[in-house]
Structure formats: structure tokens, C-alpha cells
Amino acid sequence: MTIACRAEVTIRRPVEEVFEKAAGRTDGLARYFVGNPPLVPAIRSARLLDRADPPVAGALREVRLGDGSRIVERVLAFEAPRLHRYEMAEMNRLQRLLCSNMVGEWRFEPSGDKTRVVWDYAIHERGLAGKLLGKLVGRSFERAMQRCLDELARDLAT
């Protein structure tokens, strides 16, 4: 089964500016993703492996989390200023226990002087642990996603 998570926000800024803040610089992920402990740790750092920003399809991104674990994401699409899609290339222990993969997609939709940001995340459950805990983790992750977008909106409002 797949658990679908979604967060969204509308920001009164041009799409290019919002995309650049949210996805244009890999190290910016740590600035906005504060997590939802204890199930969803904050991002402490993020960097592209073997290339400089901006990401391209196929690029790998190492993400270090607040619980001390490390994951690696594979960029599936990076189409500035409208789309950023990625999946897990390497998961941490909890992720491997609960799911077979996770896929995230950020869409940036301009509307006049505003930008609507929609972040969808699909968690593909694995085994009994995934079935038992997947929905709880999904709800916690969805709250963390919304917190992230709210942090982005606050930053761009100043």
C-alpha cells in the first residue's frame, strides 16, 4: 500500500524566487525542514554528491538527519522553476523497516504575484511493520512537511 502525504502553501512572491529558496540550493533544505520529532527528525545538512548546485535528474543528494542517521536521495526531475521530484536511493534503518521507497514531488504554480507550492510525498509501505506504523508515520511526516512550507513562507514574507 502507498501512503499519500500532502502539504501546500501560497506565497506572495514570484515563482522563480520561491523555487530558488525552496529547491534551488541543496543546503537550503536544512533551513526549512525542522521535522516532527520523535518520528520525523529535522534535516541537519544536505549536499549534492559529485556535483555542484543546481541538481539535475540522476544527481544524488546526501541528507544528514537530526537523529544522527543519513539518507541519500536521487533526483528524478529538476525543472526550474516548476518541478522538483526525488526518491530514496539509500534509506535509514527506520525507513528500511517501514517502507520499500519514498518519492517526493514539489510543484510550484505561479498565479499573478503569488506562487502556490504543493509538496506530495508517497510512502510505499513494506511488511507488517509498515502496515502497522505506516499511517502514524505518514501523519507525522505530513505535519513536518507543512511545517517546512510554513517556514519557507515566513522566510519569504520578511
What is the pTM (predicted TM-score) of this model? 0.95
Q: Give the pLDDT of residue 80.
A: 96
Question: What integer is the mean pLDDT of 22-30?
Answer: 89
pLDDT 10s digits, 125-143: 999 988 889 999 999 999 9
Q: What would the DSSP string read from start to end of 10-34?
A: EESS-HHHHHIIIIISGGGHHHH--
Domain ranges in the chain are 2-157
Cell of 19: 523555487
pLDDT 10s digits, 65-121: 999 999 999 999 999 999 999 999 999 999 999 999 999 999 999 999 999 999 999
Whether 1 has a pLDDT exceeding 90, the answer reads no
Is residue 43 very low, low, confident or very high in pLDDT (cuts 50, 70, 90)?
Answer: very high
Region for 112 from its dihedrals, namely left if φ exceeds 0, alpha if ψ lies in -120 to 50, beta otherwise: left
Fold that domain 2-157 belongs to in CATH:
Alpha-D-Glucose-1,6-Bisphosphate; Chain A, domain 4 (3.30.530)
pLDDT 10s digits, 90-102: 999 999 999 999 9
The separation between CA 6 and the C-alpha centre of its own chain, rounded to angstroms, equals: 11
Comparing CA positions, the residue from 48, 60, 56 lying closest to residue 78 is 56
